[in-house]
Amino acid sequence: MKKIIVFITSCLLLISLNGCNNVKDINKEVENINMPKSYVVDENTKEIYFAGGCFWGIEKLFQSIDGVLDAQSGYANGKEDIIPDYKKVLGGDTGYRETVKVIYDESKVSLEQLLTAFFYVIDPTVEKRQGNDVGDQYQTGIYFLDENSEEIITQFVEKEKEKYEKFVVEIEPLSKFYLAEEYHQDYLYKNPNGYCHIVPKTFDEINDVIKDVPNLSKYAKPSDEYLKNNLTDLQYNVTQNGDTERAFTGEYWDFFEKGIYVDIATGEPLFSSLDKYESSCGWPSFSAPIDENNILFKEDKSFGMDRTEVKSKSGDSHLGHIFYNEPESPNGIRYCINSASLKFIPYDEMEEQGYGDLLYIFE
């Protein structure tokens, strides 16, 4: 009896140490995946790649997050002369990392929130290991496709590094990615009791963990081609080239309905009808923005004048200028803004259009 107990214990230990290498029979129906079966690709659809140890757990982590459209296991950034498969990568010395491709809707979940989820489950201080999984393929990493993602990741990681004496997570452009074999895809949904180096309750709590992380990339500036195709000539020239619409011609100069005004280029909230006042200047005038953190100020000496330009923070759109000691303003400040830079969101549509979090300003 003692020999049997020792044998069983040894087997359990071996399974634990093998971790992600312990592939079981997984030819089962995939059920209850908390993700859409299909999705529309538009300007809000983004990609990012995470290597966080065994890809089974990392894949399910991101499948559990609201706003993630798809998560697929694969192999990233290995040697040029190797086409990876599981056996080759498991053997080591290929340079490939077990990596999860994450496709997400940035209007619903931000890259900062995904990064928060990633660092919530990994140990960034250990090299080529996570949990029980040891090997070159288990090196942690974040691999990006574009400069905007790189900038967000770099800023986020700099703050993370301050928490640790040692930090070994790779931060690199994605050079190559191969999907893993089909039996690795949706592994923990096919095998609910399968091995995972992530504590299972994490999948249920991760949305609460990241819900208060600011969604700064929600209002990321679109490509110039997108702006040219989606803005009028006047809107494009005002926001991108710093032009000014003629006085008394803009859509909102004498418009006073209840609601908010957002950047026409990005949708970033800028001004509220609560701070809009009647002005004789011929342009929409506000005494204050909704949040000064969404506004940038720039010295403007064009046309022989000494003025302060007002721009949106996320989109870098030209909005207008700010003036002081204005007798018509309730506080002496006038944000003189081009209608062409703005889009009005009626109060009754704020929730529907994704601005429900700002309804409190009207209470």
If asked whether residues 59 and 99 sit together in one domain, one would say: yes
Which tens digit of pLDDT belongs to each residue from 128-156? 999 999 999 999 999 999 988 898 898 78
Percent residues over pLDDT 70 in the chain: 88
Which pLDDT belongs to residue 234? Answer: 98
Question: In terms of residue numbers, what domain contains 157?
Answer: 31-217
Token pair recorded at residue 129:
């290991």
If asked whether residues 334 and 286 sit together in one domain, one would say: yes
If asked whether residues 350 and 240 sit together in one domain, one would say: yes
If asked whether residues 158 and 260 sit together in one domain, one would say: no
Which tens digit of pLDDT belongs to each residue from 203-221? 999 999 998 776 656 787 8
Which pLDDT belongs to residue 186? Answer: 94
If asked whether residues 205 and 86 sit together in one domain, one would say: yes
Query: Among 234, 51, 252, which Cα is nearest to 136's?
Result: 51
If asked whether residues 250 and 319 sit together in one domain, one would say: yes
CB atoms within 10 A of CB 112: 19
Which tens digit of pLDDT belongs to each residue from 209-259? 998 776 656 787 888 898 999 999 999 999 999 999 999 999 999 999 999
Residue 163 has pLDDT above 80, yes or no: yes
Residue 318 has pLDDT above 50, yes or no: yes
Which pLDDT belongs to residue 22? Answer: 57
**Mean pLDDT estimate for the chain:** 88
Q: What is the CATH number of the domain that holds 281?
A: 2.170.150.20
If asked whether residues 88 and 204 sit together in one domain, one would say: yes
Asked if the structure places residue 12 within a domain, the reply is no
| Domain count along the chain | 2
Residue 27 has pLDDT above 80, yes or no: no
Residue 35 has pLDDT above 90, yes or no: no
Q: Which residues are catalytic?
A: 54, 336
- Number of Cα atoms under 13 Å in the Cβ half of residue 184: 24
Which pLDDT belongs to residue 230? Answer: 94
If asked whether residues 196 and 230 sit together in one domain, one would say: no
If asked whether residues 183 and 227 sit together in one domain, one would say: no
Q: Which residues lie across from 322 on neighbouring strands?
A: 308, 335
If asked whether residues 127 and 228 sit together in one domain, one would say: no
Residue 30 has pLDDT above 90, yes or no: no
Asked if the structure places residue 18 within a domain, the reply is no
Q: Which amino acid is at 268?
A: E
Least confident of 1-10, 28-37, 115-124, 284-293: 1-10
pTM over 0.75: no
Asked if the structure places residue 239 within a domain, the reply is yes
